[in-house]
C-alpha cells in the first residue's frame, strides 16, 4: 500500500500567506505491538494503537477515567443485579461494511470467556452466565452473581467487540467499528490508520495517523526535534523534558497513569516462596533512588498495587521502607545469610532497563546477586508472562484498577492466597461505594504485608507534543493513544 500518512504533512502556502490546516499526525511509540488483536494478548502497545481508534466496546473509558457509552447507547440493570440489557447504537458498520448486530456482541463475549479463550483478561468475564440476543439491536448479559464492576470491565480493551467472521487475519488487518480504519503495517517501522467515512458517531478530525515505533530514547529525541514525529505521548527519555519545556515549539504533558511499576516476583520459585525473602527484597529497595535514577524524578512511590490518584488508595510505603540492615537480618532468618543468586529479566522500556541496573546494585548490597537478561517484548511475554520462567522482572501494569490479578493464582507472579480470592469475589457482588472502598483497602494491605511483589512507583505519563496539537490525553486511565478528538490548531 502506498505510504500516505507518515511524517508531518507539508504546509501548503495559500493566498495571503495563510497555511492549510494539517490533517495527519505521526505519533511516536517506544514498543511495537506483537499484533493488533487486543482480545488475545497482554501487550499494552496493542491497545495504544487500536483502543477507541479501530476497536470499540459496549462501554469505554473517557479521558478522565469515567465509564461512558460506547457501542451500547444505553443499558438497563435488573433489580437483582443479575442481568444487564444493552441497546446498541444505530447504524454501526464494521470497517468491511458489515452491520454490527447483537449476534456480534454475543460472539465477542462468548469468545472472550470461552474455555479455549486466549484473552489475557479472561477473568473480567468470569461472572457472565450467558449472553442472549433479544433482537438485532438488543443483547442481554446475565450473571452468575451480581458484579458491580461489569460496566467497568466491559470498557477494557480486552472486551472490544469483533465481528462474527473474526479470524487470525485480524491480528495484522483488524476489522473494527471505530472512527479510524486500519491502513497499513510496515513491520518494524509503523502502523497507519485512516479516518472512517462511515463511522456511526462523531467523525475523527484527522484524516490519518501514523504510529511510528522508535525504541531508542536518543532516536526518539532526535525524531521530535527534527519534526519526523509530531508527538510522543509516553516519551522514553525523561532527562530531555527540560529541554522540550524550554522550547516554545513543544508542549510537555505530564499526567498520571494506571501504571503500577513493580519488581514482579515469582512467588512459586524458591526462595521467593518464603515471605521473609520477599520482605528482604522489599527492604533492600530504595524507591526514590530508582525514581531519580531511572525516571529523573518523575513517578510517585507506591507500597501496594494501586494508583495513588484513586480515592480508595492507601499509602503503605512504610511497610517496605528502605532498610538494608533489616533486609540482611530477614535473609539470615530465612537461611540465606550468604545471599543467593536469581534471574532479573527486563523488557525494553527504559524504566525497566535503567531501573533494573539500579535495583541489581541495591540487591547486591544485601547479598542477592542477579543475572540480568534484556528481553525484547515478545520474548518477555513468552518467557515471563506466559512461561513464568523467571525469578524477578520489572514491568509497569497499565491496566485500569487491576488489583484483581492478585486473586488469580495462575497469573504470572503466581500468588495463591484464598483470603484475597475471597475478598475480590465479595467485591464483585458489592455496589455500595463505601463497602467497595473498605474491601479494596483490605486487599491493598494484604498484598503489601505479604510482600507479593516489590512495589516501586506509579508511572508518570510524560509526553511531548508539537504545541499546535489539541486533544491528546493528559492522563492515561487506560493504555491508549485515543486519536478520536485530536486535531491541529489553525
The 10s digit of each residue's pLDDT in 319-356 is 999 999 999 999 999 999 999 999 999 999 889 999 99
- State the cell numbers at 144: 452468575
Most confident of 141-155, 328-342, 423-437: 328-342
- In sequence order, the 6+-apart residues with CB closer than 8 A to the CB of 438 are none
- In sequence order, the 6+-apart residues with CB closer than 8 A to the CB of 483 are 25, 27, 52, 53, 180, 193, 204, 206, 209
- In sequence order, the 6+-apart residues with CB closer than 8 A to the CB of 258 are 307, 397, 398, 399, 400, 401, 402, 476, 477, 478, 479
- State the cell numbers at 391: 525469578
For residue 14, what pLDDT is reported? 35
Distance CA 414, CA 405 (A): 10
For residue 1, what pLDDT is reported? 37
- Are 122 and 153 spatial neighbours (Cβ–Cβ below 8 Å)? no
Query: Band of the pLDDT at 235, cuts 50, 70, 90?
Result: very high
Residue with cell 492515561: 476
- Strand 368-374 to strand 340-346: parallel, antiparallel, or no bridges (unpaired)? parallel
Say yes or no to pLDDT of 399 above 90: no
Residue with cell 532516536: 219
Query: Band of the pLDDT at 268, cuts 50, 70, 90?
Result: very high
Q: Which pTM does this prediction carry?
A: 0.81
Q: What is the pLDDT of residues 284-320, one digit of tens each?
A: 999 999 999 999 999 999 999 999 988 899 999 999 9
- Strand 392-397 to strand 340-346: parallel, antiparallel, or no bridges (unpaired)? parallel
For residue 230, what pLDDT is reported? 98
Q: What is the pLDDT of residues 380-395, one digit of tens each?
A: 999 999 999 999 999 9
Mean per-residue pLDDT for 149-177? Answer: 95
The percentage of the chain sitting over the pLDDT mark of 90, rounded to a whole number, equals: 86
For residue 309, what pLDDT is reported? 87
Tell me if the bond preceding 271 is cis, omega within 30° of 0. yes
Closest-CA residue to 45 (of 180, 441, 37): 37
Average pLDDT, the chain: 93
Mean per-residue pLDDT for 250-276? Answer: 96
- Are 339 and 303 spatial neighbours (Cβ–Cβ below 8 Å)? no
Say yes or no to pLDDT of 400 above 70: yes
Q: Which range is least confidently modeled, 154-163, 407-416, 424-433, 480-489? A: 424-433
Residue with cell 509526553: 463
Q: What is the pLDDT of residues 105-146, one digit of tens each?
A: 999 999 999 999 999 999 899 999 999 999 999 999 999 988
Distance CA 137, CA 184 (A): 32
Q: What is the pLDDT of residues 361-379, one digit of tens each?
A: 999 999 999 999 999 988 9
For residue 20, what pLDDT is reported? 56
Distance CA 325, CA 304 (A): 22
Q: What is the pLDDT of residues 177-219, one digit of tens each?
A: 999 999 999 999 999 999 999 999 999 999 999 999 999 999 9
Who wins on pLDDT, 5 or 89? 89
- State the cell numbers at 257: 497513569
Say yes or no to pLDDT of 243 above 80: yes
Distance CA 133, CA 138 (A): 6
The full 3-state SS of the chain, as one line of letters, equals CCCCCCCCCCCCECHHHCECCCCEEEEEECCCCCCCCCCCCCCHHHHHHHECCCECCCEEECCCCCEEECCEEEEEECCCCCEEEEEECCCCECCCCCECCHHHHHHHHHHHHCCCCCCCCHHHHCCEEEEEEEECCEEEEEECCCCCCHHHHCCCHHHCCCCCCCCHHHHCCCCCCCCEEEEEEECCCEEEEEECCCCCCCCCCCCEEEEEECCCHHHHHHHHHHCCCCEECCCCCHHHHHHHHCCCCEEEEEEEEEEEEEEEECCCCCCCCCHHHHHHHHHHCCHHHHHHHHHCCCCEECCCCCCCCCCCCCCCHHHHCCCHHHHHHHHHHCCCCCCEEEEEEECCCHHHHHHHHHHHHHHHCCCEEEEEEECCHHHHHHHHHHCCCCCEEEEEECCCCCHHHHHCCCCCCCCCCHHHHHHHHHHHCCCCHHHHHHHHHHHHHHHHHCCCCEEEEEEEEEEEEECCEECCCCCECCCCCCCCCCEECC
For residue 361, what pLDDT is reported? 98
For residue 140, what pLDDT is reported? 98
Say yes or no to pLDDT of 7 above 80: no
- State the cell numbers at 226: 527534527
φ, ψ at 348 (rounded to 5°): -70, -30
Amino acid at each position: 500500500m502506498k505510504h500516505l500518512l507518515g511524517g508531518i504533512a507539508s504546509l501548503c502556502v495559500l493566498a495571503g500567506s495563510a497555511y492549510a490546516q494539517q490533517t495527519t499526525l505521526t505519533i511516536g511509540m517506544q514498543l511495537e505491538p506483537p499484533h493488533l488483536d487486543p482480545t488475545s494478548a497482554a501487550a499494552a502497545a496493542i491497545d495504544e494503537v487500536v483502543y477507541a481508534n479501530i476497536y470499540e466496546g459496549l462501554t469505554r473509558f473517557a479521558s478522565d477515567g469515567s465509564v461512558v457509552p460506547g457501542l451500547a447507547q444505553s443499558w438497563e440493570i435488573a433489580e437483582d443485579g443479575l442481568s444487564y440489557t444493552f441497546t446498541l447504537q444505530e447504524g454501526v458498520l464494521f470497517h468491511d461494511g458489515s452491520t454490527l448486530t447483537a449476534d456480534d456482541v454475543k460472539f465477542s463475549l462468548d469468545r472472550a470467556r470461552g474455555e479455549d479463550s486466549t484473552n489475557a483478561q479472561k477473568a473480567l468475564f468470569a461472572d457472565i452466565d450467558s449472553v442472549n440476543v433479544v433482537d438485532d439491536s438488543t443483547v442481554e448479559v446475565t450473571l452468575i452473581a451480581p458484579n458491580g464492576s461489569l460496566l467497568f470491565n466491559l470498557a477494557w480493551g480486552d472486551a472490544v467487540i469483533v465481528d462474527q467472521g473474526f479470524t487470525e487475519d485480524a491480528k495484522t488487518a483488524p476489522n473494527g467499528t471505530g472512527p479510524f480504519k486500519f491502513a497499513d503495517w510496515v513491520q518494524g517501522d509503523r502502523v497507519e490508520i485512516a479516518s472512517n467515512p462511515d463511522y456511526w458517531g462523531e467523525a475523527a478530525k484527522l484524516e490519518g495517523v501514523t504510529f511510528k515505533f522508535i525504541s531508542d530514547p536518543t532516536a526518539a529525541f532526535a525524531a521530535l526535534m527534527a519534526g519526523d514525529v509530531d508527538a510522543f505521548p509516553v516519551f522514553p527519555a525523561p532527562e530531555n523534558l527540560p529541554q522540550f519545556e524550554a522550547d516554545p515549539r513543544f508542549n510537555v504533558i505530564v499526567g498520571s497513569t494506571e501504571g503500577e511499576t513493580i519488581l514482579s516476583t515469582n512467588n512459586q520459585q524458591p526462595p521467593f516462596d518464603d515471605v521473609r525473602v520477599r520482605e528482604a527484597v522489599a527492604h533492600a529497595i530504595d524507591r526514590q533512588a530508582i525514581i531519580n535514577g531511572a525516571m529523573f524524578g518523575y513517578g510517585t512511590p507506591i507500597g501496594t498495587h494501586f494508583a495513588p490518584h484513586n480515592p480508595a488508595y492507601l499509602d503503605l510505603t512504610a511497610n517496605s521502607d528502605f532498610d538494608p540492615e533489616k533486609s540482611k537480618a530477614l535473609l539470615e532468618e530465612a537461611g540465606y545469610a550468604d545471599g543467593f543468586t536469581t534471574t532479573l529479566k527486563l523488557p525494553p522500556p527504559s524504566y525497566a532497563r535503567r531501573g533494573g541496573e539500579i535495583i541489581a546494585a541495591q540487591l547486591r548490597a544485601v547479598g542477592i546477586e542477579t543475572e540480568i537478561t534484556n528481553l525484547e517484548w515478545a520474548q518477555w511475554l513468552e518467557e515471563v508472562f506466559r512461561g513464568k520462567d523467571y525469578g524477578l522482572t520489572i514491568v509497569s501494569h497499565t491496566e485500569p484498577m487491576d488489583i484483581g490479578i492478585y486473586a488469580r493464582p495462575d497469573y504470572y507472579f503466581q500468588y495463591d492466597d484464598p483470603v484475597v480470592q475471597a475478598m475480590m469475589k465479595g467485591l464483585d457482588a458489592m455496589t455500595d461505594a463505601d463497602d467497595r472502598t473498605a474491601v479494596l483497602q483490605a486487599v491493598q494491605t494484604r498484598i503489601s504485608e505479604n510482600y507479593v511483589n516489590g512495589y516501586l512507583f506509579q508511572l508518570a505519563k510524560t509526553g511531548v507534543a508539537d504545541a499546535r496539537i489539541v486533544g491528546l490525553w493528559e492522563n492515561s486511565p487506560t493504555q491508549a493513544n485515543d486519536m478520536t478528538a485530536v486535531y491541529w490548531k489553525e
